[in-house]
Amino acid sequence: MINRAAETTLLRLASQFPIVGVFGPRQSGKSTLTKATFPQKRYVSFDDRTTRELATANPADFVAAFPEGAIIDEAQKVPDIFDALKMRVDSAELSPGMFVVTGSSQLRLRQNMTDSLAGRAAFLRLLPFSVQELRDSNILPDNPYDVIFKGLYPPLHDPARNFLPYDWYESYIDAYLDMDVREQIQADNVSTFKKFIQICAVYSGQLFSFESVSRELGVSAPTVKKWTSILENSFIVHFLAPDTNNLGKSLVKTPKLYFVDAGLLCRLLRIDSKEELLLSPHKGAVVETFAVSELLKRRLNQGKKPNLTFFRDYKGFEVDLIADWKRAFAVEIKSQNAPESKLSANVRKYAELRGNDATKAAVFYLGDVSLNVNGTDYVAWKDWGEFAE
């Protein structure tokens, strides 16, 4: 079993709050993590129809059947369970970590928990495996493109299953449409929504124009905004907002879209092998998507907000990432495997424009060695998820 970096954060939250919500994309390992972290707790899943019907019929009695607490998987499928959990927590002596609830829908799970359990619950977002987790388990390949093309969803790294990326992602997309999307849109729009996901794949790593996608897809801009919210709330994509600073007023206001997993992105772009990826015009965008995902995982596994933006001015000068952490980092992401000085030109210029020593320049590249050259950190791909704060 691959140890999850988020386990320490989950234990920390469970030592303080009576209820902890763990949400993330389908097949990201939520159930495995919670059961491994709390092996003494009873586990129930609302994916099971009989269990779901019992909980729906009498939520209070269902919760009362677990006096020592429990792990409740896919809790959002029984919305009334959250009021029952509130009554259970409020009627008993405070017991941190009593209930752990999980779900694949950030929007529905968090809405229900926020409405019913304000002040009683903490939240952890769990994404697929990180490079650090594979490396610590001694199963990380030497070639970065093996990881980028395959992706990091846990089932693809289970030696007992032998899934091929093409087949697994096709099944994953179908399951996502049937189980996560269909109930949120009209049934006759499912095929159009699938086309919408494929269009979004072309935008990964780029400014996302709702109007352009609306015209290309033949649906209204409000519909595109609703559908992108579905993708974001089910952890298929993530948006980076433009950086706000004192460098000028003529800055873009359009967000950049990134897929959360580079392997899923490759499938949607119809890239069928790592060799095709190496020759693809989308290679740079896929590598950038991979890098952003690693930083997202780093922050979320620690229970922290991502605090990631990008910078672009009206003249087109751009920095891929601005990480606003304990100090500011300006990061360029490159698919080269050698630390050439020209790769750092934009981040060095950005740091100079900021006019202080608080912004650190860094270049993420596909080399094997992390090093500092003239004050700029060149971070090897295996270290992206452990980038120093």
Highest mean pLDDT among 141-150, 314-323, 353-362: 141-150
pLDDT band, very low/low/confident/very high, at 253 (cuts 50, 70, 90)? confident
pLDDT > 70 in the chain, percent:
93
In a domain, 345, yes or no: yes
User: 302 and 364 in one domain?
Assistant: yes
User: 231 and 350 in one domain?
Assistant: yes
In a domain, 1, yes or no: no
pLDDT digits (tens, 9 = 90+) for 270-287: 999 999 999 999 999 999
pLDDT band, very low/low/confident/very high, at 106 (cuts 50, 70, 90)? low
Plot region of 27 (φ>0 → left; ψ -120 to 50 → alpha; else → beta): left
For residue 356, what pLDDT is reported? 63
Chosen domain end from 125, 149, 181: 125
For residue 228, what pLDDT is reported? 95
Range of the domain at 236: 131-386
Query: Which DSSP helix (H) or strand (E) runs through 244?
Result: none
389 pLDDT exceeds 80? no
> The domain that contains 35 carries what CATH number?
3.40.50.300
pLDDT digits (tens, 9 = 90+) for 325-383: 888 899 999 999 888 888 889 998 888 887 766 788 999 999 999 999 888 999 999 99
Q: Which residues pair with 308 in a beta bridge?
A: 323
Dihedral over alpha carbons 299, 303, 305, 308 (to 10 degrees): 0
Say which range, 211-220, 287-296, 357-366, has the weakest mean pLDDT: 357-366
pTM for the whole thing? Answer: 0.92
Pairwise CA distance, residues 70 & 63, whole Å: 9
Residue in this structure with the two tokens 């933006």, named with its chain if needed: 309
In a domain, 146, yes or no: yes
For residue 105, what pLDDT is reported? 63
Q: Which residues pair with 210 in a beta bridge?
A: none
User: 78 and 193 in one domain?
Assistant: no
User: 314 and 291 in one domain?
Assistant: yes
For residue 21, what pLDDT is reported? 92
For residue 164, what pLDDT is reported? 94
User: 195 and 98 in one domain?
Assistant: no
User: 137 and 112 in one domain?
Assistant: no
pLDDT digits (tens, 9 = 90+) for 173-191: 999 988 888 888 887 889 9
Q: Where are the alpha helices (DSSP H) in the chain?
A: 7-14, 30-37, 49-57, 59-64, 81-91, 106-117, 131-136, 144-150, 165-176, 190-203, 210-217, 221-233, 262-268, 274-279, 283-301, 345-354
In a domain, 2, yes or no: no
320 pLDDT exceeds 70? yes
User: 174 and 202 in one domain?
Assistant: yes
Residue in this structure with the two tokens 């794949």, named with its chain if needed: 201
Pairwise CA distance, residues 87 & 66, whole Å: 13
pLDDT digits (tens, 9 = 90+) for 73-104: 988 889 889 889 888 888 877 688 999 999 87
Residue in this structure with the two tokens 């003529």, named with its chain if needed: 250
Q: Which two tokens stand for residue 205?
A: 């790593």
Q: Is 142 exposed, middle or buried (0-12, 13-18, 19+ CB in 10 A)?
A: exposed
249 pLDDT exceeds 80? no
250 pLDDT exceeds 60? no
Chosen domain end from 82, 107, 125: 125
Pairwise CA distance, residues 177 & 185, whole Å: 10
Number of domains in the chain: 2
**What are the residues whose beta carbons fall under 8 Å from the beta carbon of 347, sequence distance 6 or more?**
319, 330, 331, 332, 361, 362, 363, 376
User: 48 and 85 in one domain?
Assistant: yes
User: 203 and 66 in one domain?
Assistant: no
Pairwise CA distance, residues 303 & 301, whole Å: 5
Residue in this structure with the two tokens 């970590």, named with its chain if needed: 97
For residue 187, what pLDDT is reported? 77
User: 195 and 65 in one domain?
Assistant: no
User: 226 and 349 in one domain?
Assistant: yes
User: 102 and 138 in one domain?
Assistant: no
For residue 246, what pLDDT is reported? 62
Chosen domain end from 125, 159, 177: 125
